[in-house]
A and B are shown apart, each in its own frame.
Chain A
């Protein structure tokens, strides 16, 4: 059974509703063969429960009343609330937490008859870029099991890349959708801040967190965005934006008709700290695009060099505030409170429940917000954020998209980066920009180097997802490498 994309699934179950059950069986077969090796899921739903949901979707398909995503198996990052389905944030402090409500995005997926297959592994509270910071186990890259899949939405990317789900949702605060998409050969889209509701997303850094899709093609990402985007009374930062066409239509147009676009490379994003093999691959891609009517300019924006420290100061400050809620009383890890002081109980719960990186970020976040240091760090970082946003937004008045390698390196080996926090933070250098500025960004597969996927990042101006999807879909049609299938699963898919 050859189903490579979400659109394939949708088409085949529309034509022949019975194939829905074959598709589910087939997906669970792949899971039984590869999940032990890659470990994408923290919680995988029983096949029997999923088949029950499928039966209901099947009935609607027969009646002709099924939704846009009818029958598709979608994996959800474990920081997105799912009613009645454990949601851990890959943390001991939420190990047994079961949300009493669905996140808005989950509600919307279910409304369109998607089926949630499970909850995926991640760096604890989305703090990390490799998925090694999970409190439970690391996830491995299906292209090379000795390498990391990227993070923090590593489980969502791997479930998609290894055909253990047909698409997934991740969250992206500084690159957490795009990094794992790039390292696993998927498409990852971080929408404009506010285009997708954050209601039900467990907060890390609220001014930058955004939910988005991880898929195998640009069209699939556009389709999911069509479903999950929109204003929400339960998220006051969500946006009421309207586009004349659906995102899927923009993506279709891009691949069908092509597009004349002006792209720009910021030199600082491709030089310092970028591995030679990545740089060479990027230059090859650029030549290919130029040969296809895309105009590419190079410019310098020195302010970009300050993005990474500014991002980490802001992210840690917001995290220290957001994570103050974990005290073990209302949910999560609990200790006996009888005869003990609140200080003693809360400090012990937090010390046992949070992992090393989370504690480090809470402490540094508390520090940069504390009296005497607020101005030197948090306020200064927020001013740099303004400079960076202005620089990018202005540049995007002249150019349609900024392009760069998504990640400056090939997927690192397990253990290679996590030993040194600065080495770990360094690989986010090109992704944090979009979160600081609030603009959308996408990573699409552009090459294989030594058998490992390399991603190309495109950023457009805020609420220009129309342009972003059109151009990236056109580029996808020029590069012709998606959907990518890792050797690990090739025998099951073909």
Chain B
């Protein structure tokens, strides 16, 4: 847990997190990003002042009855519409990179 924040530690976790988030960090971006991240984490740490032990978290505004519909077949987009923004397609399939 980063409480006393160390520049080198943060650089390490940025490397790890950027892999998880699929974002490459260029060397020239690294210094500024690290400084900003430290500032922001410190700002987040303000919440540590509060005791929230017995508080139920709230992830969404509570809903009494969510709007749901019957699970039935409906007309959606046509294949042509659904694929209109695809740059590489082969016979109605999207061409993607090798995954295995």
Same complex for A and B? Answer yes
Q: Contact: A331 with B39, CB < 8 Å?
A: no
Chain A residues with CB under 8 Å of B57's CB are 379, 382-383, 385-386
**A330 located at the interface, meaning its Cβ lies under 8 Å from any Cβ of chain B in the complex:** yes
Contact of A236 among B20, B39, B61, B67 (CB under 8 A): B67
A360–B18 alpha-carbon span in the complex (Å)? 10
**A145 located at the interface, meaning its Cβ lies under 8 Å from any Cβ of chain B in the complex:** no
Q: Contact: B47 with A343, CB < 8 Å?
A: no
Chain A residues with CB under 8 Å of B12's CB are none
Of the candidates B23, B29, B37, the one having the most CB atoms from chain A within 10 angstroms of its own CB is B23
State the Cβ distance, B58 to closest chain A Cβ, in Å. Answer: 4
Q: Mark A332-352, 1 if CB is under 8 A from B, else 0.
A: 101001011111111110110
If A312-B40, A386-B55 touch, does A344 touch B97 (CB 8 Å cutoff)? yes
CB nearest to A345 among chain B residues = B97
State the Cβ distance, A471 to closest chain B Cβ, in Å. Answer: 22
A222–B55 alpha-carbon span in the complex (Å)? 37
Q: Contact: B61 with A329, CB < 8 Å?
A: no
- Interface residues in B73-100 by Cβ distance below 8 A to A read 77, 81-82, 84-88, 94-99
Number of contacting residues on B, CB 8 A?
54
Q: Contact: B56 with A97, CB < 8 Å?
A: no
Q: Contact: B60 with A101, CB < 8 Å?
A: no
- Interface residues in B31-90 by Cβ distance below 8 A to A read 33, 36-37, 39-41, 43-44, 46-50, 52, 55-61, 63, 65-69, 77, 81-82, 84-88
Q: Contact: A313 with B55, CB < 8 Å?
A: no
Q: Mark A258-270, 1 if CB is under 8 A from B, else 0.
A: 0000000000000
Q: Contact: A312 with B43, CB < 8 Å?
A: yes
If A312-B40, A329-B94, A368-B44 touch, does A98 touch B85 (CB 8 Å cutoff)? yes
Q: Contact: A462 with B61, CB < 8 Å?
A: yes
If A337-B88, A342-B99 touch, does A372 touch B1 (CB 8 Å cutoff)? yes
**B5 located at the interface, meaning its Cβ lies under 8 Å from any Cβ of chain A in the complex:** no
State the Cβ distance, B78 to closest chain A Cβ, in Å. Answer: 8
**A494 located at the interface, meaning its Cβ lies under 8 Å from any Cβ of chain B in the complex:** no
Q: Contact: B44 with A313, CB < 8 Å?
A: yes
**B4 located at the interface, meaning its Cβ lies under 8 Å from any Cβ of chain A in the complex:** no
Q: Mark B1-43, 1 if CB is under 8 A from A, else 0.
A: 1000000000001100110111111100100010011011101
**A232 located at the interface, meaning its Cβ lies under 8 Å from any Cβ of chain B in the complex:** yes
State the Cβ distance, B15 to closest chain A Cβ, in Å. Answer: 11
**A370 located at the interface, meaning its Cβ lies under 8 Å from any Cβ of chain B in the complex:** yes
**A492 located at the interface, meaning its Cβ lies under 8 Å from any Cβ of chain B in the complex:** no
Chain B residues with CB under 8 Å of A194's CB are 61, 63
Q: Contact: B21 with A360, CB < 8 Å?
A: no
Of the candidates A331, A334, A363, A387, the one having the most CB atoms from chain B within 10 angstroms of its own CB is A363
Q: Contact: A386 with B14, CB < 8 Å?
A: no
**A309 located at the interface, meaning its Cβ lies under 8 Å from any Cβ of chain B in the complex:** yes
CB nearest to B96 among chain A residues = A329
CB nearest to B54 among chain A residues = A383
- Interface residues in A234-286 by Cβ distance below 8 A to B read 235-240
CB nearest to A378 among chain B residues = B57
Chain B residues with CB under 8 Å of A370's CB are 17, 20
Q: List 30 A-B contacts (CB under 8 A).
A: A98-B84, A207-B59, A207-B61, A233-B67, A239-B63, A240-B65, A309-B43, A309-B44, A310-B47, A312-B40, A313-B47, A329-B94, A330-B86, A339-B98, A342-B99, A344-B97, A345-B97, A350-B21, A351-B24, A356-B29, A360-B36, A370-B17, A380-B47, A383-B58, A384-B47, A384-B50, A384-B52, A386-B57, A387-B52, A462-B61
Binding site for B on A (CB under 8 A): 96-98, 100-101, 193-194, 207, 231-233, 235-240, 305-306, 308-310, 312-313, 320, 324, 329-332, 334, 337, 339-348, 350-351, 354, 356, 359-360, 362-364, 366-368, 370, 372-373, 376-377, 379-387, 389, 420-422, 425, 437-438, 462
User: Nearest 6 A-B pairs (CB), nearest first?
Assistant: A438-B61, A331-B85, A382-B57, A386-B58, A100-B81, A334-B87
Binding site for A on B (CB under 8 A): 1, 13-14, 17-18, 20-26, 29, 33, 36-37, 39-41, 43-44, 46-50, 52, 55-61, 63, 65-69, 77, 81-82, 84-88, 94-99
